[in-house]
């Protein structure tokens, strides 16, 4: 082997007494019918002996691809996206792909200096999670899979494969659970973000409540942030004839709803029921623990990457929907009997 550095395919060839081509064929898995089994085994042994690992830069250069995909997310600091990344990276690694992350629209990761300072790493494909289709922007021509962006939001240039959560079903499950408990007056603390996933939640809740005899729904909008959610929930709670349950678009919003309730002396769930969405860590850290819908975030990343890899190798993968799962905990109970709005 060349003194010092890692072994190359040439070293393996020499060790095995064959040519570089043969090594490449064998280790690339394209040898059958072209190299004798004995030679193949011999090459593999030599590679193992030397601890050979192919040089990705060389292969990428030769193949004209980078084996790198871009994961585009709104933010990495929200608890939801860590698992998405993990799932995507796990599947990617299994196929020799790396994952780089970019945030959109607030792109803190890439920079805009000279080409050399920010070499806009060439990528083979894009996984865009929970972002509008415009996020693809300059990457319009790059193979992409949209995650959590809704089946309708296909890119202008033909259908883009999608993986979505069954958020409508999830919200319907929450509504059914609440209806079974006897709730009629619903407050929806909605994320004020124009994304498919939130529109779908709103529509599903509205549909369920209007199908409920005597059902009534009010709505307040907020940022996905505790203080803003607390204020929005407060507005709902301070209205005449307030809701007996606050259905929140996100676990973090539910945390804000808890605060609004407590500030008004309302016990959860005795005086007020609250539900979340996502089932992040926070859901069990709250008190009482939050009834919510679990969204399999890591699975979203994993399946999305699987679809993208399929797309990159010429397939035309079908859209998928990942069901959410209702997790009933301690924040929901039957509505109180008219003793609302008087501090205990």
Partner DNA sequence: CTGAAAGCGCTTACAG
Binding residues for DNA, rule: CB under 7 A, are: 2, 5, 8-10, 17-25, 27-28, 30, 33-36, 38-39, 52, 54-55, 58-59, 61-64
Hey, which residues between 139 and 198 contact its own copies (CB under 8 A)? none
Q: What are phi and psi of 24, to 5 degrees?
A: -60, -45
Q: Which residues make Cβ contacts (< 8 Å) with residue 216, sequence separation at least 6?
A: 184, 185, 186, 209, 243
Q: How far apart are CA 199 and CA 94, in angstroms?
A: 35
Nearer to its own copies, 56 or 176 (CB): 56
Residues in the interface with its own copies (CB under 8 A) total 66
Which residue from 33, 37, 115, 214 is in contact with its own copies, where contact means CB under 8 A? Answer: 115
Nearest residue (CB) to DNA, 48 versus 61: 61
Q: Which does 156 bind (CB under 5 to 8 A by kind): DNA, its own copies, none?
A: none
Q: How far is the CB of 66 from its own copies (least distance, A)?
A: 6
Quick one: 32 or 287, whose CB is closer to DNA?
A: 32
Count CB neighbours of 76 within 10 A.
16
Measured between alpha carbons, how far is residue 156 from residues 86, 301, 321 in Å? 29, 23, 21
CA distance 318 to 163: 9
Distances (CA, A) of 171 to 65, 112, 248: 41, 41, 10
Taken in order 224, 228, 233, 235, is the CA torsion positive or negative? Answer: negative
State yes or no: residue 28 binds its own copies (CB under 8 A): yes
110, 199, 219, 235: residue in contact with its own copies (rule CB under 8 A): 110
Q: How many CA atoms lie within 13 A of 286 on its CB side?
A: 29
Contact 201, 277 (CB under 8 A): yes
60 burial level (CB within 10 Å; 0-12, 13-18, 19+): middle
Q: Is 334 in the site for its own copies (CB under 8 A)?
A: no
- Residue 340 as a binder of its own copies (CB under 8 A): the answer is no
Q: CA 206, CA 217: separation in Å to the nearest integer? A: 7
For residue 106, state whether it binds its own copies (rule: CB under 8 A): no
Binding mask 290-319 for its own copies (x = CB under 8 A): ------------------------------
How far, rounded to the nearest angstrom, does the alpha carbon of residue 165 sit from its chain's CA centroid?
A: 9
Judged by beta carbon distances under 5 to 8 A according to partner kind, the member of DNA, its own copies, none in contact with residue 262 is its own copies
> Which entry of its own copies, DNA, none binds 314, CB below 5 to 8 A by partner kind?
none
Question: Contact residues for its own copies (CB under 8 A)?
Answer: 5-6, 27-29, 47, 52-58, 60-61, 64, 66, 68, 76-79, 81-83, 85-86, 89-90, 93-96, 98-101, 103, 108-111, 113-122, 226-227, 252, 255-256, 258-259, 262, 281-282, 284-287
């Amino acid at each position: 082997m060349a003194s010092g550095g890692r072994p190359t395919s040439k070293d393996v060839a020499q060790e095995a007494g064959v040519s570089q081509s043969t090594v490449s064929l064998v280790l690339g898995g394209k040898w059958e019918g072209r190299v004798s089994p004995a030679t193949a085994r011999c090459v593999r042994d030599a590679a193992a002996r030397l601890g050979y690992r192919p040089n990705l830069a060389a292969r990428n250069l030769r193949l004209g691809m980078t084996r790198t995909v871009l994961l585009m997310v709104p933010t990495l600091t929200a608890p939801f996206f860590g698992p998405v990344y993990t799932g995507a990276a796990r599947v990617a690694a299994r196929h020799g792909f790396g994952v780089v992350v970019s945030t959109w629209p607030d792109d803190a990761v890439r920079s805009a200096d000279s080409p050399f300072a920010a070499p806009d790493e060439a990528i083979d494909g894009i996984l865009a999670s929970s972002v509008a289709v415009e996020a693809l922007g300059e990457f319009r021509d790059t193979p992409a899979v949209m995650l959590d962006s809704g089946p309708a939001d296909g890119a202008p240039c033909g259908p883009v494969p999608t993986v979505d959560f069954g958020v409508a079903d999830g919200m319907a499950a929450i509504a059914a659970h609440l209806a079974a408990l006897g709730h009629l007056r619903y407050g929806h603390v909605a994320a004020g973000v124009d994304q498919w996933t939130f529109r779908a939640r709103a529509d599903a809740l509205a549909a369920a409540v209007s199908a409920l005899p005597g059902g009534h729904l009010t709505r307040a909008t907020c940022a996905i942030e505790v203080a803003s959610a607390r204020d929005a929930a407060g507005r709902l709670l301070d209205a005449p004839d307030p809701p007996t349950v606050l259905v929140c678009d996100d676990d973090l919003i539910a945390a804000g709803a808890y605060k609004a309730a407590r500030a008004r002396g309302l016990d959860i769930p005795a005086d007020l029921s609250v539900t979340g969405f996502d089932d992040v860590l926070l859901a069990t850290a709250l008190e009482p623990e939050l009834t919510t819908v679990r969204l399999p975030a890591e699975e979203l990343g994993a399946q999305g990457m699987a679809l993208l890899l399929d797309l990159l190798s010429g397939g035309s993968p079908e859209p998928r929907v990942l069901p959410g799962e209702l997790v009933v905990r301690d924040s929901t109970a039957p509505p109180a009997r008219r003793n609302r709005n008087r501090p205990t």
